[in-house]
Amino acid sequence: LDEAAMADARDLQSRLTKPPGALGVLEELSVRLAGLAGRCPPPSPEPAAVAVFAADHGVHAQGVSPWPQEVTAQMVANFLAGGAVVNAFAAQVGAEVTVVDVGVAAPLAPAPGLLPRKIAPGTADLTRGPAMAPEQARRAMETGIEVARELVAAGNRCLVTGDMGIANTTASAALIAAFTGLPPERVTGRGTGIDDAAHAHKIEVVRAALARHGLAPAESAVIGAGGGPAGESVTVAADPMRVLAAVGGLEHAALAGFILGGAAARVPVVLDGVIAGAAALVAAALCPDVLGACVAGHRSAEPGHAAALEHLRLRPLVDLELRLGEGTGALLALPLVQSAVRVLHEVATFDSAGVSDKNGGR
């Protein structure tokens, strides 16, 4: 982040016709985005594009979701037909929707708005072995970088993360446990809606996966799941790609790349829910500076999402108990991000508007 541009933004905010600090979190955000762009005011984050990365998950075989796996492909068709919530929310805020197939199990027919970038027809079952080969994780990540680059080259000035993949909250929980060191029961939620028994089962699946891959957090390590906590966190931090390949999804890998690509282009990346939060942990482990470009669009109802945001020290803009994914929470936050920047472009200063300053000065 460019310190000079941030200082300029702070100075400008103090001269605008409003009490200093009165825009709260949005004022800090505008300063950060000036730092990201390296100038004040930063470019308006419009137009915006949401990329919905779709993939399937081998862990679906463990019964972690009540939804059949075919729903991933069916929802992709729904996105392309404009019938999903992500389409409605994108239309509301004027964002473009692109769907990227990085790993849907079913073959998908070519369609406008669909980028065919399938790395594999879904991941392997992470409870039985690595979800991805290292090469698959790397290629999926490169795909995400490339999609970010293409969307920026097409003129977009804000990227929004989206995702679709039945069972992807399970992989997210495993990633979040591994990167935050929190126990599975703290980061595993009910996803699209499961009962207590199914939830308990899902937690055990995550726990088994972590143990299988030597990623068990400190709390589990005590009961014999592997090395000590210090050793674990060194491993995780030292080789985030191994963790990603072991328990992540193809869309997590692509989203991590999308975040890296957006940050490299100095374009804000508005993060959606728990899947994006897990991917941001991967991206930040590879390159902590990417967080300067990350805007937490919302906090979802998934406990792992709150844990990821806390770990990343990102404050969500919207907090309405959403748990849908697709990019919907991030799209709700988009006008807030755009409004924060618009202030720096359009609001008059005390001097220019002839408004008396606090304590009667000019």
Interaction of residue 68 with a copy of itself, rule CB under 8 A: yes
Distance CA 294, CA 291 (A): 5
Interaction of residue 75 with a copy of itself, rule CB under 8 A: yes
Tell the smallest beta-carbon distance from residue 144 to a copy of itself (Å). Answer: 24
Choose, by CB under 8 A, the member of 4, 61, 70, 237 that binds a copy of itself.
Answer: 70
Site string for a copy of itself, 76-95 (x = CB under 8 A): -xx--xxxxx-xxx-xxx--
* Contact positions with a copy of itself (CB under 8 A) in 155-214: 192-193
Scanning the structure block, which residue is given the tokens 């990085």? 102
Q: Which two tokens stand for residue 46?
A: 């419009």
Interaction of residue 218 with a copy of itself, rule CB under 8 A: no
| CB atoms near residue 21 (< 10 Å) | 10
Cβ closest to a copy of itself, residue 211 vs residue 340: 340
With CB under 8 A, what is the number of residues at the site for a copy of itself? 63
Tell the smallest beta-carbon distance from residue 204 to a copy of itself (Å). Answer: 21
Interaction of residue 107 with a copy of itself, rule CB under 8 A: no
Q: CB–CB of 322/329 below 8 Å?
A: yes
Cβ closest to a copy of itself, residue 165 vs residue 261: 165
Tell the smallest beta-carbon distance from residue 75 to a copy of itself (Å). Answer: 6
E strands, 106-198, in order: 114-116, 158-164
Q: Which two tokens stand for residue 77?
A: 């068709």
DSSP assignments along 216-278, one per residue? --HHHHTTTSSS-HHHHHHHHHH-HHHHHHHH--HHHHHHHHHHHHHHHTT--EEE-SHHHHH
Interaction of residue 22 with a copy of itself, rule CB under 8 A: yes
Interaction of residue 23 with a copy of itself, rule CB under 8 A: yes
Which range touches a copy of itself (CB under 8 A), out of 18-26, 33-41, 127-135, 208-216?
A: 18-26
Distance CA 184, CA 211 (A): 11
Nearest to 310 by CA among 344, 334, 341, 281: 281
Nearest to 163 by CA among 60, 262, 280, 244: 280
* Contact positions vs a copy of itself (CB under 8 A): 16-26, 66-68, 70-71, 74-75, 77-78, 81-85, 87-89, 91-93, 192-193, 301, 317-324, 328, 331-332, 335-336, 338-339, 342-343, 345-348, 352-356, 358-360
